[in-house]
Amino acid sequence: MELYERIPNNVNLSQDKRLQRALEKWLPNYLEWWREMGPEGFQDKDVYLRTAVGVDAEGWANFDYVKMPDYRWGIFLKPAEADARVGFGDNYGMPVYQEVPGEFRNALRRIIVTQGDTEPASVEQQRQLGKTCPSLYDLRNLFQVNVEEGRHLWAMVYLLHGYFGRDGRDEADALLERRSGNPDRPRILEAFNQPCDDWLNFFCFTMFTDRDGKYQLAALAESGFEPLARTCQFMLTEEAHHLFVGETGVGRVVKRTAELMKQSKDGDARELGGISLDIIQKYINFWFSYSLDLFGGEISSNSADFFAAGLKGRFKEQDQYEDHIAAEGSFTLTVVEDGKLAQREVPLRNALNEVLRGEYVKDCERAMTRWNKYLTDAGVDAQLYLPSTRFHRHVGEFAGHYFDVQGNMITKEEFESRQSEWLPTIEDREYVRSLMHAATEPGKIANWIAPPSAGIKGKPFEFEYVRL
Ligand SMILES: [Fe+2]
Ligand SMILES: [Fe+2]
């Protein structure tokens, strides 16, 4: 079978000899990477997966049993709109770019490589999790996320191969060479080098870290570089499920913890084999703060340049804003000046990372409200919260300074003496890991998490989502 017949696509691969040649070399390396770094122990099992085989309503969500290595990694872009125009910045209203604007070539390649690097990284982080799945439903969701992250890597590699020539091909090879957490050749972003070795980590990761991905993709989906915009638009349709897995996953843990707290004489979920609220809170603090870093510095000339060039917009740029030039406005943000918190006014375009981060925080707060309702409904007094956006930051204005979870500036010594209250300790992680035993009979679920309110694609929770 010809290569272009094996790769479902809507980029006219059968006619594009150059792209075919590039993919022909890359595909075997990708499959080798998947065998080496993809989910361990389940490669020959039938999994009830959604596969995109086209971009229309029918084709993008095709459900069937598939063995993961046989998943059809495709290349899909949202169909082009006629007469599309640059939607913001200095070139507002001009025809969209079909090629990479020369002066932004390096920067754009960097953005695509950085996004691309996160996709295989998360597969690597999650590769052992199948062995301790809380249910077949969750196992299937893990694998769905994994194969789609693999496909997202394809999406970015398509752009590198298609638009960046020789250096694009080198970058595409390097995406398969870095490894999450490897000290010599780590993944680019720190959140993607953190271990994700228990299911509470997985749910927090898909809740908080994948959600950063949603906002980055949404900003790039506005791009005036049309192939990038259309690629990201299609990725967002898949990403929604990953966020669902994370948000409902943490929510189900909270729900179960609340039940166990009520059942226990001392109100202690741990006594009955659950995860205590304070551990859930620490995991939230950890993943939320690392994920905030992914938006970049609060004040950024890069963000201004990218907006001006029409390459990276704001969240829902077209629906949410009237002024798409944004050249005049200013934005007041909190910074550290002479060791103290201060307000500073900066040109709006320089604050766009912070503007995007603000959208993300609002979205996280919405989920938090939902989780807290589970606690209230169960009659538990305590509530979960998001820590201050200054807490535990490693990038931007607050990096190198120390804050408590309310955002008060404290000394390094105070932070170090109190961090076990705020961030997971080795004992917390070991305790959570001690609960992780696979529940693999259809309809069975681990004790520390509540079942989902519905199954996948109208199937019941008891459905055999993975045939073991
Ligand atoms: Fe992704
Ligand atoms: Fe994702």
pLDDT tens for the chain, 468 residues: list them: 777 888 888 898 999 999 999 998 999 999 999 999 999 999 999 999 998 877 777 777 889 999 998 898 889 899 999 999 999 999 999 999 999 989 889 989 999 999 999 999 999 999 999 999 999 999 999 999 999 999 999 999 999 999 999 999 999 999 999 999 999 999 999 989 998 999 999 999 999 999 999 999 999 999 999 999 999 999 998 899 999 999 999 999 999 999 999 999 999 999 999 999 999 999 999 999 999 999 999 999 999 999 999 999 999 999 999 999 988 899 999 999 999 999 999 999 999 999 999 999 999 999 999 999 999 999 999 999 999 999 999 999 999 999 999 999 999 999 999 999 999 999 999 999 999 999 999 999 999 999 999 999 999 999 999 999
Q: Ligand 2 centre from 60 Cα, in Å?
A: 16
**Per-residue pLDDT, 144:** 97
Q: Ligand 1 centre from 152 Cα, in Å?
A: 5
**Per-residue pLDDT, 416:** 98
**Per-residue pLDDT, 227:** 96
Q: Ligand 1 centre from 244 Cα, in Å?
A: 13
Instruction: Starting from the CA of residue 155, give the closest ligand.
Output: 1
Q: Ligand 2 centre from 383 Cα, in Å?
A: 28
**Per-residue pLDDT, 201:** 97
Instruction: Starting from the CA of residue 153, give the closest ligand.
Output: 1
**Per-residue pLDDT, 427:** 98
**Per-residue pLDDT, 6:** 83
**Per-residue pLDDT, 4:** 80
- Measured CA to CA, the distance from residue 47 to residue 467 in angstroms comes to 7
Cα 31 to its chain centre, rounded Å, is 22
- Measured CA to CA, the distance from residue 200 to residue 246 in angstroms comes to 9
Q: Ligand 1 centre from 192 Cα, in Å?
A: 12
Instruction: Starting from the CA of residue 126, give the closest ligand.
Output: 2
Instruction: Starting from the CA of residue 242, give the closest ligand.
Output: 2
Could you tell me the CA-to-CA distances from 41 to 67, 128, 461 in Å, in that order? 12, 8, 23
Q: Ligand 2 centre from 196 Cα, in Å?
A: 14
3-state secondary structure of 225: strand
Q: Ligand 1 centre from 151 Cα, in Å?
A: 8
**Per-residue pLDDT, 61:** 80
- pTM of the full structure: 0.96
Q: Ligand 1 centre from 232 Cα, in Å?
A: 10
Q: Ligand 2 centre from 83 Cα, in Å?
A: 31
**Per-residue pLDDT, 8:** 86
Q: Ligand 2 centre from 272 Cα, in Å?
A: 33
**Per-residue pLDDT, 74:** 86
Contacts 24+ apart (CB under 8 A), 418-427: 422/282, 422/285, 422/387, 422/391, 422/392, 423/282, 423/285, 423/286, 423/392, 424/279, 424/282, 424/283, 424/286, 425/282
- Measured CA to CA, the distance from residue 10 to residue 287 in angstroms comes to 36
Percentages helix, strand, coil for the chain, rounded to the nearest 5?
A: 55, 10, 40
Instruction: Starting from the CA of residue 149, give the closest ligand.
Output: 1
**Per-residue pLDDT, 440:** 96
Q: How far apart are the first and last CA of the chain?
A: 30
